């Protein structure tokens, strides 16, 4: 045993034990931490993993289906091998039971009647005892990890590399969704993650443990035995999970501090009370670029979901009423809204955004610039996103907007000239003529689709369009009249006069 790790194959080679392999030859390399007698139908709640379970046969069901289920339960719990006493109470073993052992690589051993179970337990205890001193030393060093943090100011990757060397495990960390949990620590294969935080900790070749945090696990730690290393055991893996929890708490505290500071800075930027040089210095200190910044207005998303989506991205977030303002690089639009809208034509894979979001993005600007224009652009674009049902609208991407003047007084005059009568009619009669025509235009005059979006009958929408034409004096079948009305509708949206 060059790697000082006892395996099922080693037990078979002990001549005094006279063990015979019945099935599961591919699992002979499984490590053995203990040998224990159990006559329970389901001993798994009391197991840690890597045990050899010995039984006189009382625990073995008689039917084929229950025999297979019994073996699968043991294997799922990380049991190294099942040892059956010959000539006692073992019922006939069905082919499906032996086939399951072969499929899973779960060794099934036969123990001669002349060999007492205590002999197997003593051999296992003697073999693993030599490893106990090394495990204790590793445990003591790993338990000092918090002292390293305080005295040596280790960064996260260095800390976990040291823990890996001492523990004999390759360490992985991830959130419950499989995303990175701490910077510099790799994520595990999704197939190793449990379906429940209450699942047994043992998996083939190591352990998987929840990383504790207030309100529920922050994620999972997966510790897999390294080739040629001497794994220090479950207690060490549990302590590494505790160290990870401490690191997560520190990271969350730092993020919350930066988030609050960022919200204060963004509030000052929106109020235009910082001089350009101070604004640039503060943004650089928070990890933001000095060029190519955008401002987003985000609606219809809970604060928790938005902050969770933005966790790994440098940005400033501020809530004002029902709007959330986000300042950062343009890629934040993809994070919030997903890539479905940009990838649809090219046939690429789409990244999911926040469900139900309506977000508007300003044009890029430099750090230190006034945010008054960017705020107006982001709010207008968010309103357009909410109106059209799109997750994200970027200001300036609509060709029609290029033909509208920036001067609000000119926009107001256009709206009054074309839509004034309709706006007053809607206000007096609590009707939705303007909203109905805008929805119909946005959907390229497809009446049934627009009616469905408005939750009205197509005939009702057709009546509203005729009424709108009568009030404005413009026939929407005419290209000239349609263009004029469309520009006026866009101007009304920019002024915030539409829903």
Angle between helix 156-167 and helix 145-152 axes, rounded to 10 deg: 140
The phi and psi torsions of 491 (rounded to 5 degrees) equal: -65, -40
Parallel, antiparallel, or unpaired for β 51-55 and 81-85? parallel
What does the pLDDT read at residue 338? 82
Q: What is the pLDDT of residue 319?
A: 94
Q: Which domains does the chain have, with CATH numbers?
A: 8-127 (3.40.1390.20), 144-251 (no CATH), 272-397 (3.30.70), 408-494 (1.10.10.2840)
Instruction: Say whether pLDDT at 294 is over 80.
Output: yes
Please state, in angstroms and rounded to a whole number, the distance separating the CA atoms of residues 340 and 353.
8
Choice between 495 and 461, residue whose per-residue pLDDT is larger: 461
Q: Is the pLDDT of residue 237 over 70?
A: yes
Q: What share of the chain is helix, strand, coil (3-state, %, to 5)?
A: 50, 15, 35
What φ, ψ does residue 18 adopt, rounded to 5°? 55, 35
pLDDT, position 399:
60
212 versus 229: which is more confidently predicted?
Answer: 212
Report whether pLDDT(82) > 60. yes
pLDDT, mean of residues 392-400:
78
Query: Is the model's pLDDT at 362 over the cut of 90?
Result: yes
Please give the Cα distance from 198 to 212 (Å, whole number): 12
Q: Give the Å distances, CA to CA, from 161 to 143, 180, 185, 325, 477.
A: 15, 16, 9, 39, 71
* Least confident span in 74-83, 92-101, 308-317: 308-317
Q: Alpha helix locations (H) across 338-457?
A: 340-343, 372-388, 408-429, 433-442, 447-454
Q: What is the pLDDT of residue 118?
A: 92
**CB-CB contact of 201 with 49 (8 Å):** yes
In sequence order, what are the residues at sequence separation of 6 or more whose Cβ sits closer than 8 angstroms to the Cβ of residue 151? none
Is it the case that residue 293 has pLDDT exceeding 90?
A: yes
| pLDDT higher than 60, residue 481 | yes
Q: Name the region of 116 (left: φ>0; alpha: ψ -120 to 50; beta: rest).
A: beta
pLDDT at site 181: 92
pLDDT digits (tens, 9 = 90+) for 325-337: 999 999 999 999 9
CA distance 326 to 261: 14
**Rounded mean pLDDT of 5-33?**
91
Average predicted confidence (pLDDT) for the chain: 87
Q: Encode pLDDT of 42-77 as tens digits.
A: 999 888 888 999 999 998 999 999 999 999 999 999
Q: What is the pLDDT of residue 137?
A: 59
Mean pLDDT of 288-305: 93
d(CA 296, CA 317): 9
Give CA–CA dist 283/427, Å, rounded: 44
- Residue 384: name the closest of 438, 420, 345, 332 by CA: 438
Q: Is the predicted pLDDT of residue 408 greater than 50, yes or no?
A: yes
The secondary structure of residue 419, as a DSSP letter, is H
The secondary structure of 254-283 as a DSSP string is HHHHHHHHHHHHHHHHHHT-S-HHHHHHHH
Query: What are the φ and ψ backbone dihedral angles of 488, each rounded to 5 degrees?
Result: -65, -40
């Amino acid at each position: 045993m060059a790697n000082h790790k006892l395996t099922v194959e080693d037990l078979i080679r002990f001549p005094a034990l006279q063990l015979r392999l019945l099935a599961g030859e591919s699992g002979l390399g499984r490590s053995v931490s203990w040998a224990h007698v159990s006559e329970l139908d389901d001993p798994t709640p009391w197991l840690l993993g890597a045990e050899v379970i010995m039984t006189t046969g009382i625990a073995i069901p008689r039917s084929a289906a229950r025999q297979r289920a019994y073996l699968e339960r043991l294997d799922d719990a990380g049991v190294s091998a099942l040892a059956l006493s010959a000539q006692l109470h073992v019922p006939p073993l069905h082919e499906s039971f032996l086939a399951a052992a072969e499929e899973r690589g779960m060794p099934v051993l036969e123990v001669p009647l002349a060999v007492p179970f205590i002999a197997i337990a003593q051999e296992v205890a003697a073999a693993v005892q030599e490893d106990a001193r090394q495990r204790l030393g590793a445990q003591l060093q790993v338990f000092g990890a918090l002292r390293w943090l305080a005295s040596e100011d280790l960064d996260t990757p260095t800390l976990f590399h040291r823990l890996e060397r001492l523990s004999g495990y390759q360490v992985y960390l991830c959130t419950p969704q499989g995303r990175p949990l701490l910077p510099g620590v790799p994520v595990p294969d999704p197939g190793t993650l449990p379906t429940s935080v209450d699942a047994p900790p043992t998996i083939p070749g190591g352990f998987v443990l929840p990383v504790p945090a207030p309100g529920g696990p922050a994620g999972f730690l997966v510790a897999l035995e390294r080739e040629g290393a001497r794994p220090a055991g479950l207690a060490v893996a549990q302590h590494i999970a505790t160290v990870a929890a401490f690191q997560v708490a520190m990271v969350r505290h730092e993020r919350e501090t930066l988030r609050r500071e960022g919200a204060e800075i963004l509030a000052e930027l929106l109020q235009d009370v910082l001089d350009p040089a101070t604004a640039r210095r503060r943004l650089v200190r928070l990890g933001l670029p000095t060029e190519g910044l955008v401002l987003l207005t985000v609606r219809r998303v809970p604060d928790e979901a938005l902050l969770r989506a933005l966790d790994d991205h440098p940005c400033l977030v501020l809530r004002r009423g029902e709007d959330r303002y986000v300042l950062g690089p343009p890629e934040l639009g993809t994070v919030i809204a997903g890539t479905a809208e940009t990838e649809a034509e090219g046939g690429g894979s789409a990244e999911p955004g926040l469900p139900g979001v309506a977000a508007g993005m300003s044009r890029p600007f430099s750090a230190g610039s006034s945010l008054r224009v960017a705020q107006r652009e982001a709010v207008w674009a968010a309103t357009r996103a909410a109106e059209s049902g799109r997750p994200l609208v970027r200001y300036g991407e609509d060709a029609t907007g290029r033909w509208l003047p920036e001067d609000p007084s000119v926009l107001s005059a256009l709206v009054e000239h074309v839509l004034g009568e309709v706006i007053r009619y809607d206000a007096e009669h609590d009707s939705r003529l303007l909203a109905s025509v805008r929805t119909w235009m946005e959907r390229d005059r497809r009446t049934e689709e627009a009616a469905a979006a408005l939750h009205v009958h197509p005939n009702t929408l057709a009546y509203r369009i005729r009424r709108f034409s009568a009030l404005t004096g413009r026939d929407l079948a005419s290209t000239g009249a349609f263009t004029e009305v469309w520009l006026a509708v866009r101007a009304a949206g920019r002024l915030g006069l539409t829903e």
